[in-house]
């Protein structure tokens, strides 16, 4: 709880206008699969993109270069573990990694499993849809377990 309050106040301090709130400071923004003091991995509920995960920093920071090198590396280890877990479980044609933050300037990475028959392939998921998209699902519990094992293996 104290942690949440700290995140919240960081967010308000960092924003130019305190009118709108930062949704990534304000909520988990998905089903939490894994977390530590630095960041969390959440599973997004997206009908077209099962397995769509976000790795979200637990602080309101805007750019990767706002972090020191060790912290950057730690964050990317979590991003790569998420990629690896999704590859193992879903065998996608491609993984898309993206960090945009134009709408929400709170550091987060999208980790998106892509398939040749998905709604937008080979375009980005933010492009014009090309087809209805083949139905697919993800076993959230298995993903959680896989992530936990991978991240335990890389922990210092
Ligand atoms: Zn924030």
Cα 22 to averaged position of ligand 1 atoms, centre (Å): 5
Query: What does the H/E/C string look like for the chain?
Result: CHHHHHHHHHHHHHCCCCCCCCHHHHCCCCEEEEECCCEEEEECCCCCCCCCEEEEECCCCCCHHHCCHHHHHHHHHHHHHHHHHHHHHHCCCEEEEECCCCCCCCCEEEEEEECCCCCCCCCCCCCCCCCCCCCCCCCHHHHHHHHHHHHHHHCC
pLDDT reported for residue 154: 65
Mean pLDDT of the chain: 89
Residue 88 pLDDT > 50, yes or no?
A: yes
Which band of pLDDT confidence, cut at 50, 70 and 90, is reported for residue 155?
low
Cα 89 to averaged position of ligand 1 atoms, centre (Å): 30
Residue 78 pLDDT > 80, yes or no?
A: yes
Which residue from 119, 116, 101 is spatially nearest to 49, judged by alpha carbons? 119
Cα 39 to averaged position of ligand 1 atoms, centre (Å): 12
pLDDT reported for residue 20: 63
- Determine if the peptide bond prior to 53 is cis (ω within 30°): no
Residue 99 pLDDT > 70, yes or no?
A: yes
- Vertex 152 angle, CA 146 and 156, to 5°: 155
> Helices 140-154 and 69-90: crossing angle, nearest 10°?
140
Cα 88 to averaged position of ligand 1 atoms, centre (Å): 31
Average pLDDT over residues 34-52: 96
% pLDDT > 70, the chain:
85
More confident site: 16 or 134? 134
Average pLDDT over residues 53-63: 97
pLDDT reported for residue 18: 39
Cα 7 to averaged position of ligand 1 atoms, centre (Å): 7
């Amino acid at each position: 709880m104290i942690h949440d309050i700290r995140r919240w106040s960081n967010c308000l301090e960092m924003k130019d206008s305190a009118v709108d709130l930062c949704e990534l400071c304000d909520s988990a923004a998905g089903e939490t699969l894994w977390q530590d003091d630095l960041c969390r991995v959440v599973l997004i509920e997206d009908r077209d993109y099962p397995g769509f995960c976000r790795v979200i920093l637990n602080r309101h920071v805007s750019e990767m270069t706002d972090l020191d090198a060790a912290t950057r590396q730690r964050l990317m280890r979590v991003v790569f573990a998420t990629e690896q877990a999704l590859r193992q479980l879903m065998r996608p044609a491609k993984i898309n990694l993206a960090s945009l933050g134009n709408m929400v300037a709170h550091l987060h990475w999208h980790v998106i499993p892509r398939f040749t028959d998905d709604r937008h392939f080979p375009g980005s998921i933010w492009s014009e849809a090309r087809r209805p998209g083949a139905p697919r699902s993800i076993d959230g519990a298995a993903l959680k377990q896989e992530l936990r094992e991978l991240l335990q293996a890389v922990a210092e």
